[in-house]
Amino acid sequence: MANSKYEYVKFFEKESTLIPETYIIIRVDGRGFHKLSDKYGFKKPNDHNALELMNISAQKIMENIPDVVMAYGDSDEYSFLLRKNCELFERREFKLITTFSSTFTAYYQFYWSSFFPETPLEVDRLPTFDARAVVYPNAHNVRDYFSWRQVDCHINNLYNTTFWNLILKGGMTAKEAENRLKGSVSADKHEILFKQFNINYNNEPEVYKKGSVFVREIEDVSDLEVTSNDNLESGSSSITSSSVKSKTISPYMKDALSKRQKDRIQKKLRKSKIRLFHCDIIRDEFWDKRPWLLI
Amino acid sequence: MANSKYEYVKFFEKESTLIPETYIIIRVDGRGFHKLSDKYGFKKPNDHNALELMNISAQKIMENIPDVVMAYGDSDEYSFLLRKNCELFERREFKLITTFSSTFTAYYQFYWSSFFPETPLEVDRLPTFDARAVVYPNAHNVRDYFSWRQVDCHINNLYNTTFWNLILKGGMTAKEAENRLKGSVSADKHEILFKQFNINYNNEPEVYKKGSVFVREIEDVSDLEVTSNDNLESGSSSITSSSVKSKTISPYMKDALSKRQKDRIQKKLRKSKIRLFHCDIIRDEFWDKRPWLLI
Amino acid sequence: MANSKYEYVKFFEKESTLIPETYIIIRVDGRGFHKLSDKYGFKKPNDHNALELMNISAQKIMENIPDVVMAYGDSDEYSFLLRKNCELFERREFKLITTFSSTFTAYYQFYWSSFFPETPLEVDRLPTFDARAVVYPNAHNVRDYFSWRQVDCHINNLYNTTFWNLILKGGMTAKEAENRLKGSVSADKHEILFKQFNINYNNEPEVYKKGSVFVREIEDVSDLEVTSNDNLESGSSSITSSSVKSKTISPYMKDALSKRQKDRIQKKLRKSKIRLFHCDIIRDEFWDKRPWLLI
Amino acid sequence: MANSKYEYVKFFEKESTLIPETYIIIRVDGRGFHKLSDKYGFKKPNDHNALELMNISAQKIMENIPDVVMAYGDSDEYSFLLRKNCELFERREFKLITTFSSTFTAYYQFYWSSFFPETPLEVDRLPTFDARAVVYPNAHNVRDYFSWRQVDCHINNLYNTTFWNLILKGGMTAKEAENRLKGSVSADKHEILFKQFNINYNNEPEVYKKGSVFVREIEDVSDLEVTSNDNLESGSSSITSSSVKSKTISPYMKDALSKRQKDRIQKKLRKSKIRLFHCDIIRDEFWDKRPWLLI
């Protein structure tokens, strides 16, 4: 074929494939959103429309990509959890992360005018997002990852709420507010808010304090279980390693599932409901209720 | 700090950094554009508006990212050449590719209505793009890469032009046209076009036959040269390795260039003109005229 | 410093670090052992001395590297299992694999004369070994890995035993023996051995049929447990995800363990007994008895 | 086949292939040689036998692996340069580095008794080596790499020579010698050696000051040239990019060379002479004389 003379250049491509049977988390992050939020006049400390725009974009991602079983977001970032046996793009990293960054960007721009009808986007400051994939070998890590993001959300929101009240109601400059908060601990900020601005932080909206969680609701997990090397199904009760017994028909075997089985799982995932919460995802309760998230 | 208990999860992130002093090419590729072009009624075999939309998006990328010295595109793909000494995002792969996929997506959607004013985008078929980075160690490889893409453009366009004429003017079904072209060589397609449809393929528009090339025009390359370990500048004239002599002040040394020098280069790149061509990039002429592209 | 002008070349080094909290298996493999076994006259189908030389080399590796909790070998290969929380060389891949290949090589040559006193090594055919590391996210994968190697041992040994009996006792050429076995299944080989050579394969030595397993014996696993996110310790009994609850004091946190705790674990591992078996490692029994292997 | 049930575990292997058309340098490094040199009584500051043992091991590597065109070593380390078009092990990283670490270890132990006939190796302190591969895109980087190692050799040797003279002839303790040299520059050490011990450092043996260089001598480079995208052969004389012209028959094309051509190159490399030097490899002279090293 005429093209073959140059085709050797393809051999310089390096493929990074994410290790099988691990949880993939893809975090999408707004690029330069500090300037962007100034440019388009986002409200401080939280712009409800901007958060809803993030949320609808995340929700559309979940509707489109059945392997995403959960998403958590706050501020200008969103983290998507892909189930352990996900084979999307054969787990090729570049495909996964550029698809997420591109698709999130597309939804965000598409829905912009619904949330900011008075503020059209300008070409020199379009919202864009980078994305990275991280792989976690076990359910503990995944829970700790989401705890990490939610603690981060809490810390930032408490700081920002206090900071912006000092400025907007307290008449401070940004520099003065920054100095006022330097070295302050959580309790100090609660006190400033309460004594100076009569704000009980605990009564602030949950969406600001906790962020947003989308969950794919699956009523009957039996179909999914066959694909997992899940510890949940085995009623192991002792120190013996019975929970890690090899099954006669190992479910971990590459290609163990027939095309038909895989299609059924995809279909089940696709038609499942996606629900939005603003709740604690650090404690057990959230996860105990939804064992399929960590299958 | 309160957050530290969970922060260990950051250690699971793996960073891939592209090898220094190599050319980076980032190729952006439309996702599912076959269906998308059907959905929005792109003209066959070439939709001029769709190509112009690709081009304006690529041009905006070049305006925004000075390290891109050249871009080549056809159909639904675009390849961007970053200069060898590019330090954008410290050459971190995930940042580079997700920024390109996201930014290209953002421009493409933004300009959509300028080129398809009658055909608004629908949320269930938004245009998105993946992106990959490939690293090439030397100028030969880079030239061969672009030759590969341009040969590909030629082959596809000749095929598509013939295929669609057989359908649109020849009244064939897609299946019939496919069969008609099975096994045909280049000359056969030229002949079909000429004899059956009175089309001289050589007179087809250059933008279809050759694709589009954006070039950053740099009049005085002296500033750039200091950053390169370029063989071009040394008037080497023999088989001796004089062209690879270590300089007393090595320009390859990490941090060899002062912040001020780097800023000057970025400024020079930023204010340089970007020009569009639809020309041959396989032969020497294109490259001989623009030695700075491969510095 | 005088050296700094060239030190930038260090920035071209790429570091691959194996993902935390995953099992590392390092497989060492003889290079060109077909020719080597001819050269030094290894007995066919199994050379007991050669296997013992492999075994003593593997045992010395385990004595030297406490993080290796188990090793399985047959023929000219050995697989070493490193515990999930192993931090050897900060899990840097190049350090791990080249240390194993070099150290195994050193022991093998050192002990050569003990097992082949009449056959000194010659410089043009020294025994060398390559090594690779593979990472497994969960205990199932690890068990399946070792099952894979033991099944491989079985298949090869049955074949080789039959093949060499056909040659040595049956008077066939290698080609004839190969043809005789083409397409034969397990039962056919058993039958050839039994009918033609009066050999009951089941009575062959276990070391040939099963390979060799070294196990680090740990009587009290309580010390190790603190380092693991282990499912064994939690008496979970239902489909709830209680087995993956985050602990108040997470043991998965980077640096969660004090230097003192880590030293104690290393010491415990170092003084533990290492025992050799030639047993089935596919069925549960082996693993149920030794839960610490998969902690 | 019976084995297939577990074979999926192979999919967890990750393959790192070194980028084509780049120079590969593999550096082999003694593990724990400080303790080892104490254990076996290496002479200080330089043990001539130990250096010769390193050298014979490096030489044997070069004899065995034709793609190594040069090696530089000092102290307990050796760096091997593989030619740019080397296809050894399809450039798979794990194969390359573990083969070098294992093979170097094997030669070192094999020749030990020739250089230390009175000091047999003991099993608890066998000499072992790790190895890493670094990839360099151009000839400048390669020269700078070797300059980096030779400068390092010089700095260490000057320090060690002074340090050990202070101890052995000056009667200082190690601590005292260390303090004496703290903050000293090169001239200070020269002066100490000259004034206090009547040693003119410049008269020290070249092997200590410069290290050891093995070179594969190739009289007629024409055969090699065909495999390279080398700038040296083209008598380019201007800023035009003529030196990077694509050839009609591109030599960079994967599989461009016939099996026969490749075999001829391997044969030529294999039968070439390997010579040892203790010379400057920082200045141009060394490289100008041997243009094939950087082809």
Distance between CA atoms of residues C145 and C132, nearest Å: 14
Confidence of residue C292 (pLDDT cuts 50, 70, 90): very high
| Sheet of D273-277, strands arranged across | D129-136, D23-30, D77-82, D68-74, D212-217, D273-277
| pLDDT beyond 60 at A25 | yes
Contact between C130 and C274 under an 8 Å Cβ cutoff? The reply is no
| pLDDT beyond 90 at B198 | yes
Quote the pLDDT of residue D223: 60
Confidence of residue C3 (pLDDT cuts 50, 70, 90): low
Confidence of residue C261 (pLDDT cuts 50, 70, 90): confident
Interface mutation target, options D1, D3, D10, D12, chain A, most CBs of A under 10 Å = D12
Distance between CA atoms of residues C179 and C167, nearest Å: 12
At B28, give phi and psi (nearest 5°).
Answer: -100, 135
Rounded to whole angstroms, the maximal C-alpha distance in chain B is 78
Confidence of residue A54 (pLDDT cuts 50, 70, 90): very high
List residues forming the annotated binding site of B.
29-34, 75-76
- pTM of the complete model: 0.91
3-state SS class at D198 = coil
pLDDT tens-digit map of C104-152: 999 999 999 999 999 999 999 999 999 999 999 999 999 999 999 999 9
Percent share of chain C, pLDDT over 90: 81
Q: Do A19 and D6 touch (CB under 8 A)?
A: no
- The Cα of B257 is separated from the nearest Cα of chain C by a number of Å equal to 12
pLDDT tens-digit map of B230-240: 333 333 333 23
Distance between CA atoms of residues D282 and D146, nearest Å: 7
B neighbour chains, 3+ CB pairs within 8 Å: A, C, D
DSSP code string of D201-261:
GGGS-HHHHH-EEEEEE-S-THHHHTT---SSSS---SSSGGGGPPPSS-TTSTT-S-HHH
Quote the pLDDT of residue C95: 98
Question: Which residues of C lie closer than 8 Å to B, measured between beta carbons?
Answer: 5-8, 11-12, 14, 17, 19-20, 250, 252-256
Picking from B6, B19, B252, the nearest residue to C8 by CB comes out as B252
3-state SS class at C17 = strand
Contact between A129 and A105 under an 8 Å Cβ cutoff? The reply is yes
Distance between CA atoms of residues D113 and D120, nearest Å: 7
Question: Which alpha helices (DSSP H) does B169-230 contain, by range?
Answer: 174-181, 186-191, 197, 206-210, 222-225
B250 to chain C: closest CA residue:
C5
Average pLDDT, chain C: 89
Residue A143 CB burial class (10 angstroms; 0-12, 13-18, ≥19): buried
Picking from C144, C232, C244, the nearest residue to A241 by CB comes out as C232
Who has greater pLDDT, A234 or A100? A100
Strands A68-74 and D68-74: unpaired
Average pLDDT, chain D: 89
Average pLDDT, chain B: 89
3-state SS class at D165 = helix
Interface mutation target, options A218, A228, A231, chain C, most CBs of C under 10 Å = A231
C neighbour chains, 3+ CB pairs within 8 Å: A, B, D
Cβ-Cβ contacts under 8 Å for A186 (sequence gap 6 or more): A158, B2
Chain A residues in contact with B128 by the CB 8 A cut-off are 99, 102-103, 105-106
Q: Do A246 and C284 touch (CB under 8 A)?
A: yes
Q: Do D241 and B232 touch (CB under 8 A)?
A: yes
| Sheet of B129-136, strands arranged across | B129-136, B23-30, B77-82, B68-74, B212-217, B273-277
pLDDT tens-digit map of A226-252: 443 433 333 333 333 333 333 333 334
Quote the pLDDT of residue A262: 87
pLDDT tens-digit map of A178-216: 999 999 999 999 999 999 999 999 999 999 999 999 999
Confidence of residue B229 (pLDDT cuts 50, 70, 90): very low
Rounded to an integer, the average pLDDT of B200-220 is 94
Quote the pLDDT of residue C295: 84
Chain B residues in contact with A99 by the CB 8 A cut-off are 31, 101, 128, 130
Quote the pLDDT of residue B255: 53
Distance between CA atoms of residues A152 and B3, nearest Å: 7
A neighbour chains, 3+ CB pairs within 8 Å: B, C, D
Helices (H) and strands (E) in chain D, counts: 11, 6
Quote the pLDDT of residue B225: 56
- The Cα of A139 is separated from the nearest Cα of chain B by a number of Å equal to 12
Q: Do A252 and C294 touch (CB under 8 A)?
A: no
Query: Any known ligand binding at C170?
Result: no
Picking from A3, A129, A152, the nearest residue to B148 by CB comes out as A3
DSSP state of A274: E
Query: Dihedral of CA D95/D99/D100/D101: which sign?
Result: positive
Angle at C182 between CA C177 and CA C186, to 5 degrees: 100
| ipTM reported for the complex, 2 dp | 0.90
Peptide bond into B45 cis (omega under 30): yes
Rounded to an integer, the average pLDDT of D93-98 is 98
Quote the pLDDT of residue B219: 75
Distance between CA atoms of residues A274 and C107, nearest Å: 59
How many other CB atoms are found less than 10 A from the CB of residue B33? 18
Quote the pLDDT of residue C223: 60
Picking from A3, A131, A141, the nearest residue to B152 by CB comes out as A3
How many other CB atoms are found less than 10 A from the CB of residue B149? 23
Chain D residues in contact with B229 by the CB 8 A cut-off are 138, 140-141
Distance between CA atoms of residues D42 and D254, nearest Å: 48
pLDDT tens-digit map of A214-223: 999 987 776 6
Quote the pLDDT of residue D247: 35
DSSP state of C276: E
Average pLDDT, chain A: 89
- The Cα of C135 is separated from the nearest Cα of chain B by a number of Å equal to 13
Quote the pLDDT of residue B42: 98
Q: Do D252 and B141 touch (CB under 8 A)?
A: yes
Chain-centroid distance, C-alpha C255: 29
Chain C residues in contact with B247 by the CB 8 A cut-off are none
Q: Do C254 and B17 touch (CB under 8 A)?
A: no
Quote the pLDDT of residue A278: 98
Confidence of residue D229 (pLDDT cuts 50, 70, 90): very low
3-state SS class at A5 = helix
Angle at C88 between CA C85 and CA C94, to 5 degrees: 120
Q: Which two tokens stand for residue C109?
A: 């040559």
DSSP code string of B90-153:
GGBHHHHHHHHHHHHHHHHHHHHHHH-TTS---GGG---EEEEEEEESSHHHHHHHHHHHHHHH
CA B202 vs CA B161, B252, B281, C271: distances in Å: 12, 46, 17, 81
Beta bridge partners of A216: A274
Distance between CA atoms of residues A52 and B59, nearest Å: 32
How many other CB atoms are found less than 10 A from the CB of residue A68? 24
Interface mutation target, options D57, D80, D130, chain C, most CBs of C under 10 Å = D130
Residue D263 CB burial class (10 angstroms; 0-12, 13-18, ≥19): exposed
Quote the pLDDT of residue A197: 97
Confidence of residue D283 (pLDDT cuts 50, 70, 90): very high
Rounded to an integer, the average pLDDT of C10-19 is 95
Chain B residues in contact with C256 by the CB 8 A cut-off are 8
Confidence of residue B272 (pLDDT cuts 50, 70, 90): very high
| pLDDT beyond 60 at D289 | yes
Q: Do C98 and D103 touch (CB under 8 A)?
A: no
Q: Do C20 and B12 touch (CB under 8 A)?
A: yes
- The Cα of D21 is separated from the nearest Cα of chain A by a number of Å equal to 9
Of A150-154, D99-103, D254-258, the range with the lowest mean pLDDT is: D254-258
Rounded to an integer, the average pLDDT of C269-277 is 95
CA A220 vs CA A81, A233, A269, A280, B91: distances in Å: 20, 13, 11, 24, 46
DSSP code string of A37-97:
HHHTT--SS--HHHHHHHHHHHHHHHHH-TTEEEEEEETTEEEEEEPTT--GGGGBHHHHH
Stated as kind and residue range, the H or E segment containing C153 is helix C139-168
DSSP state of D86: -
Distance between CA atoms of residues A208 and A206, nearest Å: 5
Task: Quote helix, strand, coil % in chain A, to nearest 5.
Answer: 50, 15, 35
Quote the pLDDT of residue A261: 86
Question: Which residues of C lie closer than 8 Å to A, measured between beta carbons?
Answer: 19-22, 135, 137-141, 143-144, 147, 221, 229, 231-233, 235-246, 250, 252-253, 282, 284, 287-288, 291, 294
List residues forming the annotated binding site of A for Mg(2+).
29-30, 76
Rank B201-210, C211-220, C259-268 by mean pLDDT and report only the highest: B201-210
Quote the pLDDT of residue B251: 39
Interface mutation target, options A138, A221, A233, A294, chain C, most CBs of C under 10 Å = A138
pLDDT tens-digit map of D145-196: 999 999 999 999 999 999 999 999 999 999 999 999 999 999 999 999 999 9
Angle at A37 between CA A36 and CA A41, to 5 degrees: 120
DSSP code string of A114-162:
HH-TTS---GGG---EEEEEEEESSHHHHHHHHHHHHHHHHHHHHHHHH
DSSP state of C246: P
C253 to chain B: closest CA residue:
B8
Confidence of residue A255 (pLDDT cuts 50, 70, 90): low
Number of CB pairs, chain B paired with chain C, less than 8 A apart: 32
Cβ-Cβ contacts under 8 Å for D56 (sequence gap 6 or more): D107, D111, D114
3-state SS class at D71 = strand
Picking from C5, C19, C253, the nearest residue to B5 by CB comes out as C253
Q: Do C252 and A141 touch (CB under 8 A)?
A: yes
Q: Which two tokens stand for residue B60?
A: 């905006």
Rg, chain A, Cα only = 23
Question: Which residues of B lie closer than 8 Å to D, measured between beta carbons?
Answer: 19-22, 135, 137-141, 143-144, 147, 221, 229, 231-233, 235-246, 250, 252-253, 282, 284, 287-288, 291, 294
Quote the pLDDT of residue C248: 33
3-state SS class at B82 = strand
